[in-house]
Structure 1
Amino acid sequence: MTAAPDLSLWAAARRRLLADPVARLGLAVLGLIALACLVGPFLTGHPYERIYYDYPRTPPSLQVYPRPETVGPALERLALRMRVRAEDVTVEDGTVRMVLAADKPVDDRALTFFARSDLFGPATLLGRSEDGRRLTVSVPVRETRFLLGTDALGRDLLTRILVAGRVSLALGLMATGVALLIGVAYGAAAGYLGGAVDAAMMRLVDILYALPFVFFVILLVVVFGRSVALVFLAVGAVEWLDMARIVRGEALAIRRQDYVRAAEALGVGTGAILRRHVVPNALGPVAAYAALLIPRVILLESFLSFLGLGVQEPMTSWGVLIAEGARSIETSPWMLVAPALVLVATLIALNALGDRLRDALDPHTA
Structure 2
Amino acid sequence: MKHRFSTRVFGAMLAVIAAGAATFYFSIQTVASTLFENQVRRQAGRANAPGRGPNSTPAVDADVQAAFDSSLDEALLIGLAVSLLAAIILGLVLSGRILNPLTRIRAGVARFAAGRYDESIPEPPVVELAELAADLNTLGAALDESEARRARLVSDVVHEMRTPITTINGFVDGMLDGVFEPSEAVLASVREETTRLERLASDLSGLSSAEGAIMRLEREPVDLVGIVTGVADRLRPQYEAKGVELRVQPGAAIEMAADPQRLAQVFTNIIGNALLYTPAGGRVEVASATVDGSAVVTVADTGAGIGADDLAHVFERFYRGGRQDQAGGTGIGLTIARGIARAHGGDITVDSAGEGSGSTFAVRLPLG
The answer to whether the superposition gives a TM-score over 0.5 is no
Structure number having the greater strand percentage:
2
How would you bin the TM-score normalised by the shorter chain? under 0.3
Superposition TM-score, scaled by structure 1 size: 0.26
Q: Which has the higher contact order (CA 8 A, sep 6+)?
A: 1
